[in-house]
Amino acid sequence: MNSNSIAMEMYRRMNLIRRFEEMAEQLHAKGKIVGSLHSSIGQEGEIVGACLALRADDYMMGNHRSHGHPIAKGAKLGPLMAELMGRKTGVCGGKGGSMHLADFSVGSIGETSIVGSGMPVAAGAALAAKLQGLDRVSLCFFGDGASNEGTFHESMNLAAVWKLPVIFLCENNLYAAATPMLAVTSVQDIAVRANGYDMPGQVVDGQDVLAVYDCVTAAVARARAGEGPSLIEAKTYRYRDHAVNMGELGKVDLGGRSDEEVAHWKARDPIKLLRNVLVNELGVAEQDIEAIEQAAIQEVEDAHQFAVDSPLPSTDDAFTDVFIGTI
Amino acid sequence: MNSNSIAMEMYRRMNLIRRFEEMAEQLHAKGKIVGSLHSSIGQEGEIVGACLALRADDYMMGNHRSHGHPIAKGAKLGPLMAELMGRKTGVCGGKGGSMHLADFSVGSIGETSIVGSGMPVAAGAALAAKLQGLDRVSLCFFGDGASNEGTFHESMNLAAVWKLPVIFLCENNLYAAATPMLAVTSVQDIAVRANGYDMPGQVVDGQDVLAVYDCVTAAVARARAGEGPSLIEAKTYRYRDHAVNMGELGKVDLGGRSDEEVAHWKARDPIKLLRNVLVNELGVAEQDIEAIEQAAIQEVEDAHQFAVDSPLPSTDDAFTDVFIGTI
Amino acid sequence: MAKITYIQAILAAIREEMRRDPTTFVMGEDLSIWGTADGLPEEFGRERVRNTPISEAGFIGAAAGAAVAGSRPIVDVTISSFVYPAMDQVVSIIAKSRYLYGGQAKLPLVLRLGLYYGLGVAAQHSDRPYPMFMGVPGLKIITPSNPYDMKGLLKSAIRDDDPVMCFEDTNLWSQRGEVPDDDYVIPLGKANICREGTDVTIVAISGMVRHAIDAADALAKDGVSAEVIDPRSLVPFDRETLLDSIKKTGRLVVVDVAHRSCSVASEISAIVAEEAFWDLRAPIIRVTTPDTHIPHSPAIEHMLYPDKTKIMAAVRQTLS
Amino acid sequence: MAKITYIQAILAAIREEMRRDPTTFVMGEDLSIWGTADGLPEEFGRERVRNTPISEAGFIGAAAGAAVAGSRPIVDVTISSFVYPAMDQVVSIIAKSRYLYGGQAKLPLVLRLGLYYGLGVAAQHSDRPYPMFMGVPGLKIITPSNPYDMKGLLKSAIRDDDPVMCFEDTNLWSQRGEVPDDDYVIPLGKANICREGTDVTIVAISGMVRHAIDAADALAKDGVSAEVIDPRSLVPFDRETLLDSIKKTGRLVVVDVAHRSCSVASEISAIVAEEAFWDLRAPIIRVTTPDTHIPHSPAIEHMLYPDKTKIMAAVRQTLS
Ligand SMILES: Cc1ncc(C[n+]2csc(CCOP(=O)(O)OP(=O)(O)O)c2C)c(N)n1
Ligand SMILES: Cc1ncc(C[n+]2csc(CCOP(=O)(O)OP(=O)(O)O)c2C)c(N)n1
Ligand SMILES: [Mg+2]
Ligand SMILES: [Mg+2]
């Protein structure tokens, strides 16, 4: 792909994510999706920039806020939406739901809703690639809040001493649920912590999908060349509450999120920023851009229809997949 | 205390520890002490230097290799030896044994044999001091191996964001059981990791009791003044195997400990180094030094006798202290 | 006396005990979210109401250390599934310290853990892990099943000088009940006979108690007299009330929303099969969640849990 | 066929399976210490025999990730007490991943955990925590009680495509037994009837099996015919062999070195009280470690565990 077509693909995936998330919100409001729902709206830049730096056979781990991530990795939308709606055709058969999407067919090998718990797993997938002599890499998303979990430390150290091909991507959206990052985190930049593992650490503008792409591409190259892991901190923002049903923009524990702060970030919307680049720098025609936008709406609508038309799981399904066979 | 009398007290406690450990080894070899036994011989400098920087009412947490630490904090030897020998008069009634000495009367509030698990506890004791408006500090010993546990990270961050009066003292004896530190640790100096918590981090020569004392004294002053925690890494060495019954000097996994390495460290024995200072720099008379040495031998012998003369716990004792009353 | 919710009962217990004892303090993640800390920062200040990093082992271990050093932490673990990252601090430190140090240490702390099942949040958030802690000596465990018990048991737990785990069934959050405004405590280790009966004993834990009562009410219409017992605390466990009831009824159904294997239901069954065998007139039936994980899909989640119908069927089985 | 020790049986199983399948690899702390990795680095290289940092959550979680990505990790957790810092990775990740992802993930990994009791190492090192894992769906659990079973079960576990926890009783380390040099496997879920009998069934787990056999031998001299069953795997559990035996004997003693509450003994008792009640002719007696911690002092440690004398007394109780 040339850089033009990569940028177009980025734009397409970012739009898909935004529309997918909006649809999910609506369905949750109508009671068609049950359980918690953590929107990634606002974070599409870092999600897509990072995932597009991977090959299809590379691994990717998400967390509780990762609807967008399998989409960025190339997953079909229908089974994802069906999963949110608890259908048998869901990508996880309706068993995982919103916080546990995975589409192994595109290297999306899991999302875990226990904060920080995906980091050792991602390191382990990288270890397997290394042991199997494959040049695959593993990309692990985690939040600013997760950077205070012990698993962060253990995974970083393990990856460093074993030179594992893993990229730890911190989605620093400044808050962990109702808690501002700086109220509970002893450093300004989480990337600084890379020093404690003799690992490269870098801050990147998470709203600039192209910058994220470049930064992750370099880390992936390092990893594939056997030079070991990297820590990348993408500064980003979630537009929505921590999760649905938790009050406007979350009930932030130490004073709320200010209107100025929200406005500041919305002015740097990752989709808008890329659109500007497409139009002004890459000379893409407005109608080509609109075509992508329209197609995204349609694709999400189709995904919704797929989910709606799909059957629910049956009683027996509750008992399979605990083990491989029944025991 | 003037610096002369502090140095004499250091010498006294270091001798007590060395002799106590030697006695414990002998008793274990004779089957009079049962269970594992991790000797702190060689590490007396950092142990005594750190503990003497504390007040009697400050808190101190040790780990599996902490016979010396309560002694350095001022505990009586008899109940410690009785504890190793599983007697009812043991400082923990014979229930804790070698890896879990504690003497609350001198601020020795525990030793835990699960690697890294004492760090949050020490932070919590510091938190209690802060909440109670006391100016006590908390000193936490842990090994180089423990610095790769998640609890290290969580405790460091928690202490930093809450500015807790705690001193984390890493006893870097270059090995964790059979594993050389650098084989499993991604940094040369563990003190570097302090940067990831915006905390002062410092390396000190653990064989130089006076250097350790000065370094910890400064950290204690900081902590008492409400300026928060510190990380201090004392470079030291254990002369013995990781634990008894594990082969000469431990069966080191990646090639053993070289004779040169052992000789290098033994040449810098902390007790010898301080003895030189006492004689050559502080002008202490040889006979005063010998008096301390002789007294230490006697005190340990008395402790042994106390333990031998003590009763074993009774059946009922196995069932108390699970809860405060019986339930 | 007012009708307040289960959540409000939690808050009331904490507030009253924080007023009573200045050594108490609260900590946990995102305390503002759940409604169990409303007004506390304003009344007691941010020092005593502490928002933590997402570091469960760190702050639960810190609670242990603070307790050892004379404070009385009340820790909001929020969802019980989040206790696993701190498991070592709970099992190796909190449960064992007093014993290891021969009684020198006292650990007056409370861990509050929500049972967050039935909400479509899938296997990683829906745990009911209290049985695994019942197998660890040194931990007291309470499982309040209504607002009145919640306030009285939680107040006892906060005053207790031993560590107490309080498992809170979040399905009861909005349940209302009469709760005295003033100070009262319910002692740990005293079961509640929710309903007397003579034909069969139904022991139910936590959120299962209301289903057991519903089942008993329905059975009464068919002429079956069921006694419903809520142990209220699992450790200490009120063996006497249980065995007395079996002596009377000769039949036992145990209702526990935990997974079946090594559940509290299994434990209670084993106690009775050992100590009251000669009183038994029928098999002991456990009504539990089967040994499968909790799926997200609401279409297949709810059927997994014990409910009135399953309890009634179990009772009938003991009578047939 | 040679007489080898329990430890050697572990090493033999690992070596044979590592030769058989190049996707297997071993990791853990200080692998060289215990004798269960002797010669492995030389034969298979340091890539496949990996010494880890002291980061249990890190490397046990990494095992999960490696398994998901097609490798077959064999993890030496060494002493079972060290699993607690990794509890979340075991419960939330290893046990649940396959289910959460609707069967997309396969987690062929083995966790080896030593039961290190009876050695004077006190409460933090002497755990026997298998019951808490039996209550977590998604984990297979084996408890080999002799060298022959160890090799056969561990080989099965390594070949199994589901996660398996292998609890190894370190009190059996130096026990010798006949073990075939060649390849054999013992299927998970098949109990071993160690000794046939007609008067009473004794079910014993892991290191308790030999005490049960000793007790049965002694009882035989008094004319009591005891059947001794070793379940060999707790998950899957061989219910059929158990229930068949109860049908014959009508009496049950369960011997489990875990703490009493919510133990495997409790579970087995509950199964029988539920499914074989009408076959029972006496109370079900559990011989377990009481709900206290394990003290260091050898003077008071050993009396806490089940032994031949206690088992004999329990059997007599069922016969009286
Ligand atoms: C171990 C654990 N503790 C607490 C929670 C509850 N929780 C869910 S998301 C969240 C905040 C996570 O913050 P961050 O890592 O910054 O990710 P973000 O939600 O901001 O994307 C918390 C505390 C959890 N799921 N797991
Ligand atoms: C959680 C845990 N994992 C493993 C062990 C086994 N173990 C005991 S001591 C030790 C090495 C500790 O090394 P270090 O922290 O450097 O302390 P040192 O023994 O060198 O003083 C290990 C691995 C343990 N006790 N706890
Ligand atoms: Mg965040
Ligand atoms: Mg060390």
Q: Do B196 and A195 touch (CB under 8 A)?
A: yes
Read off the tokens for B150.
């998640």
Q: Exposed e or buried b for every residue in A212-224, given b needs 16+ CB within 10 A? A: bbebbebbbebbb
Pick the residue of D101, D239, D259, D274 with the most C CBs within 10 A to test the interface with C by mutation: D274
Q: Which of D85, D97, D138 sits opposite A110 (nearest CB)?
A: D97
Q: What Rg do the C-alpha atoms of chain D give, in angstroms?
A: 19
Q: Which D residues 43-72 touch A at CB under 8 Å?
A: 47-48, 50, 52-53, 55, 57-71
Task: Give tens-digit pLDDT for D16-65.
Answer: 999 999 999 999 999 988 899 999 999 999 999 999 999 999 999 999 99
Q: Which of A93, A114, A154 sits opposite D103 (nearest CB)?
A: A93
By C-alpha distance, the chain A residue nearest B228 is A186
Q: What Rg do the C-alpha atoms of chain C give, in angstroms?
A: 19
A150 contacts in B (CB within 8 Å)? 149-154
Q: Do A112 and D93 touch (CB under 8 A)?
A: yes
By C-alpha distance, the chain D residue nearest C58 is D85
Pick the residue of D27, D40, D54, D301 with the most B CBs within 10 A to test the interface with B by mutation: D54
What is the count of residue pairs from C and D with beta carbons less than 8 Å apart? 152
B152 contacts in A (CB within 8 Å)? 150, 153
A95 contacts in C (CB within 8 Å)? 122-123, 293, 295-297
Q: Report the greatest alpha carbon distance in chain C.
A: 60
The CB density around residue B128, as the number of other CB atoms within 10 Å, is 26
CA atoms of B124 and C241, how far apart (whole Å): 39
Contact D33, D210 (CB under 8 A): no
Q: Does the beta carbon of C279 lie under 8 angstroms from any beta carbon of chain D?
A: no
Question: What is the ipTM for the molecules in this complex?
Answer: 0.98
What is the number of the ligand 1 atom nearest to the C-alpha of A114? 26
Q: Which residues contact C22 (CB under 8 A, 6 or more apart)?
A: none
What is the count of residue pairs from B and D with beta carbons less than 8 Å apart? 130
Q: Hey, which residues does D229 pair with through a beta bridge?
A: D193, D203
CA atoms of A227 and A217, how far apart (whole Å): 14
Q: Which C residues 38-57 touch D at CB under 8 Å?
A: 57
Ligand 1 centre distance from Cα of residue C56 (Å): 11
CA atoms of D231 and D113, how far apart (whole Å): 18
What is the number of the ligand 1 atom nearest to the C-alpha of A65? 21
Q: Which residues of D are catalytic?
A: 125
Residue D307 pLDDT class (50, 70, 90 cuts):
very high
**Distance between the two ends of chain A, CA-based, in angstroms?**
49
CA atoms of B284 and B95, how far apart (whole Å): 42
Closest-CA distance, C132 to chain A, in angstroms, reads 19
Q: Do A320 and D23 touch (CB under 8 A)?
A: no
Positive/negative CA dihedral, A95, A101, A103, A108: negative
| Residue B104, SS3 per DSSP | helix
Q: Which residues contact A181 (CB under 8 A, 6 or more apart)?
A: A144, A145, A172, A174, A175
B315 contacts in D (CB within 8 Å)? 300, 303
Global pTM value: 0.98
Positive/negative CA dihedral, A200, A205, A210, A213: positive
Task: Give tens-digit pLDDT for D98-126.
Answer: 999 999 999 999 999 999 999 999 999 99
Tell me whether the omega of the peptide bond preceding residue C236 falls within 30 degrees of 0, making it cis: yes
D122 contacts in B (CB within 8 Å)? 35, 95-97, 99-100, 113
In short, whether A175's Cβ falls inside 6 Å of ligand 1 is: yes
Q: Does the beta carbon of C173 lie under 8 angstroms from any beta carbon of chain A?
A: no
Question: What is the residue-level pLDDT of chain A in tens, covering all 327 positions?
Answer: 567 899 999 999 999 999 999 999 999 999 999 999 999 999 999 999 999 999 999 999 999 999 999 999 999 999 999 999 999 999 999 999 999 999 999 999 999 999 999 999 999 999 999 999 999 999 999 999 999 999 999 999 999 999 999 999 999 999 999 999 999 999 999 999 999 999 999 999 999 999 999 999 999 999 999 999 999 999 999 999 899 865 544 556 666 788 899 999 999 999 999 999 999 999 999 999 999 999 999 999 999 999 999 999 999 999 999 999 877
Contact A232, A168 (CB under 8 A): yes
In the block, which residue shows the tokens 């603070």?
C66
Pick the residue of C26, C30, C49 with the most A CBs within 10 A to test the interface with A by mutation: C30
Burial class, A298, CB count within 10 angstroms (exposed 0-12 / middle 13-18 / buried 19+) = exposed
Closest-CA distance, A192 to chain B, in angstroms, reads 6
Q: Order across the sheet with D285-289: list the strands.
A: D192-195, D226-230, D200-204, D252-259, D285-289
> What is the reported pLDDT for A248?
45
DSSP assignment of D135-152, as one string?
TSTT-EEE---SHHHHHH
* φ, ψ of residue A143 in degrees (nearest 5): -95, 170
Read off the tokens for A17.
């994510």
Q: Does the beta carbon of C92 lie under 8 angstroms from any beta carbon of chain D?
A: yes
Contact B118, C127 (CB under 8 A): no
CA atoms of B200 and D37, how far apart (whole Å): 41
Q: Which residues contact B51 (CB under 8 A, 6 or more apart)?
A: B13, B60, B69, B72, B73, B74, B139
> What is the reported pLDDT for B248?
45
The CB density around residue C54, as the number of other CB atoms within 10 Å, is 26
- Look at residue D170 and tell me whether its pLDDT is greater than 70: yes
Read off the tokens for C320.
């047939």
CA atoms of C238 and C257, how far apart (whole Å): 20
Read off the tokens for C181.
């405004």
Cα atoms in the Cβ-side hemisphere of radius 13 Å centred on A193: 29
Q: Which residues contact A281 (CB under 8 A, 6 or more apart)?
A: none
Question: What is the residue-level pLDDT of chain B in tens, covering all 327 positions?
Answer: 567 899 999 999 999 999 999 999 999 999 999 999 999 999 999 999 999 999 999 999 999 999 999 999 999 999 999 999 999 999 999 999 999 999 999 999 999 999 999 999 999 999 999 999 999 999 999 999 999 999 999 999 999 999 999 999 999 999 999 999 999 999 999 999 999 999 999 999 999 999 999 999 999 999 999 999 999 999 999 999 899 865 544 556 666 788 899 999 999 999 999 999 999 999 999 999 999 999 999 999 999 999 999 999 999 999 999 999 877
Q: Which residues of C are catalytic?
A: 125
